């Protein structure tokens, strides 16, 4: 099966654990991609530096209250549509540097999907602080042999640099929000474009 999947067309999935719309996509993308026979390339990156480049001190959903109120209504509505649990977090956007580093380390590992979904549930269902080591270890529990060793490796200098460089690549490619999908150089932005991106990926395979 792994050999067969290696031949499937590739969809890049750029996401951030602090992003409410990324939550919707993280919970859906792997199953939809398997149905479409598309291989997902997980691309964790940090939204903070991208927002700061635009002169923003926080998420536009915080800086523009009207947009923020709509975004929470819309996220809850879309979660119901998909049959997903959802609770508006008491802190937004949450710092997610530690789990993002783990995701950077695990992007090509078989546990990546389950780890990302666990972190997203912590943030957007359980409403807990996802940047705490205890929560990251809990998300890794049962997925890897030694969660503490994985967390330590994620905190290594090489992996920290890799996440910074990946964020810089996102900036160079014109990524301005999350989630963002790429089929080659073709960009699709937003959870509501996930299905379009998968269709495009199959058509151009």
- Active site positions, annotated: 19
**pTM for the predicted model, two decimal places:** 0.95
Which DSSP helix (H) or strand (E) runs through 101? helix 97-106
The domain made up of 10-203 is a member of CATH 3.40.50.1000: no
Distances in Å between the Cα of 13 and the Cα atoms of 43, 150, 162 are: 5, 22, 17
What tens digit of pLDDT does each residue of 93-145 get? 999 999 999 999 999 999 999 999 999 999 999 999 999 999 999 999 999 99
What tens digit of pLDDT does each residue of 44-82 get? 999 999 999 988 888 988 889 999 999 999 999 999 999
């Amino acid at each position: 099966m792994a050999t067969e999947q290696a031949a499937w067309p590739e969809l890049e999935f750029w996401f951030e654990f602090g992003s409410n719309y990324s939550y919707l996509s993280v919970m859906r993308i792997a199953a939809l991609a398997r149905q479409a026979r598309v291989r997902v390339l997980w691309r964790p990156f940090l939204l903070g530096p991208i927002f700061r480049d635009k002169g923003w001190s926080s998420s536009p959903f915080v800086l523009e209250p009207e947009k923020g109120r709509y975004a929470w209504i819309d996220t809850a509505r879309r979660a119901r549509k998909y049959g997903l649990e959802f609770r508006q977090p008491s802190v937004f956007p949450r710092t997610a540097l530690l789990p993002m580093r783990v995701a950077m380390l695990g992007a090509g590992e078989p546990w990546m999907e389950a780890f990302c979904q666990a972190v997203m549930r912590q943030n957007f269902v359980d409403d807990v602080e996802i940047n705490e080591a205890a929560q990251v270890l809990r998300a890794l529990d049962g997925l890897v042999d030694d969660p503490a060793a994985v967390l330590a490796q994620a905190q290594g200098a090489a992996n920290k640099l890799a996440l910074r460089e990946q964020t810089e690549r996102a900036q160079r490619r014109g990524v301005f929000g999350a989630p963002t999908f790429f089929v080659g150089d073709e960009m699709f932005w937003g959870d509501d474009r996930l299905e379009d991106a998968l269709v495009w990926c199959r058509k151009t395979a």
